[in-house]
Amino acid sequence: MTDLAIRCTCGQMQGTARDVAQLSQRIVCYCRDCQCFAWFLERPELLDVHGGSEVLQLNPTRVSFHAGHEHLACMRLSPKGVMRWYASCCNTPIGNTLDKPKPPFVGLLSSCWDPELDAAARDRLIGPRRAYINGPGHAAPDGSMAKVDKLPLKAIFGALRLILGSTLRGEIQPSPFFEPDGTPRATPRVLELAEREALQAKLDTAAAP
C-alpha cells in the first residue's frame, strides 16, 4: 500500500493522498505561525509536546477528497501569509499551500493522517522524519527542548526537488484546494492584526513556565 487515508477528527471529511511513498517529504515544523494556526482552530492539543506540527510535503495533485468537500475552509494569518486549510466541521488542520496552484506544493498536516496507523506503520508508509525546522519550539513539560536543524539543507533541497519535478511534469491540476482557473475553493479568512496578537499572546502564556 502506498496511499495514505485522510480524515478529519469527526470523520465527515475524508480523502486520500496517493503514492506517498514516492516524491514526498516528512518534516516537523516549530514555527509560531503553525502554532498560531492550531490555536486559531482551538486545537492546540494537536501540536506535539514541543509545539511542533508534523507535515508531509507533496504535490497537491496527489490529494483528493471523496467526502465532505463542503467543509473545506481556509484562513491566512496575514494578507500575505500562506493558505492554511482545515475542515470546518471539527476544526481539523488539513494542509498549507501558497495562494495559487503554482508552484504545486502542499504540506499535509498529520492531524488528518489515517488515525488507524500506528507510528511504525507510518514510518513504513511515508518514511522517517527528514528534518526538524523553524525552531525553537517551547519546552516540554519535562523541561526538554525540541530538536531543531539549524540549517536544514536536506529539507530545503527536498522541497525544491518536489516542486521542480512536479512543475516539469506539468502536474498542476487537479488540485483539491484550487479551481481550474486558480481561484481558491474556499475564500480565506484573513486575520486582523489584533487577532494575530491575541493568538501570539496565547502562545506566550502556554509556553510560560
Q: How confident is the model at residue 58 (pLDDT cuts 50, 70, 90)?
A: very high
| pTM for the full predicted model | 0.92
**CA–CA distance, 102 with 42 (Å, rounded to integer):** 30
- Residue 142 is predicted with a pLDDT of 73
**Can you tell me the mean pLDDT for 163-170?**
84
The residue count for the chain: 209
**CA–CA distance, 15 with 4 (Å, rounded to integer):** 9
Residue 184 scores a pLDDT above 80: yes
**CA–CA distance, 22 with 180 (Å, rounded to integer):** 25
**CA–CA distance, 198 with 191 (Å, rounded to integer):** 11
**Separation of CA 39 from chain center:** 14
- Residue 79 is predicted with a pLDDT of 94
Residue 160 scores a pLDDT above 70: yes
Cα–Cα nearest to 32, from 150, 149, 137: 137
Q: How confident is the model at residue 169 (pLDDT cuts 50, 70, 90)?
A: confident
Q: How confident is the model at residue 135 (pLDDT cuts 50, 70, 90)?
A: confident
The tens digit of pLDDT for each residue in 7-55 reads 999 999 999 999 888 788 999 999 999 999 999 999 999 999 888 999 9
Pairing of strands 189-190, 72-76: parallel
Instruction: Name which of 34-38, 68-72, 103-107, 201-205 the model is least confident about.
Output: 201-205
Helix (H/G/I), strand (E/B), else coil: 4: strand
Helix (H/G/I), strand (E/B), else coil: 160: helix
- Whether the CB-CB separation of 138 and 127 falls below 8 Å is answered with no
**Can you tell me the mean pLDDT for 155-173?**
85
Amino acid at 133: I
Q: How confident is the model at residue 1 (pLDDT cuts 50, 70, 90)?
A: low
**CA–CA distance, 54 with 43 (Å, rounded to integer):** 14
The tens digit of pLDDT for each residue in 79-130 reads 999 999 999 999 999 999 999 998 899 999 999 999 999 999 999 999 889 8
Domain boundaries, given as residue ranges, for the chain: 4-207
**Can you tell me the mean pLDDT for 57-82?**
95
Handedness of CA 143, 120, 92, 175 (dihedral sign): positive
Domain 4-207 class in CATH:
mainly beta
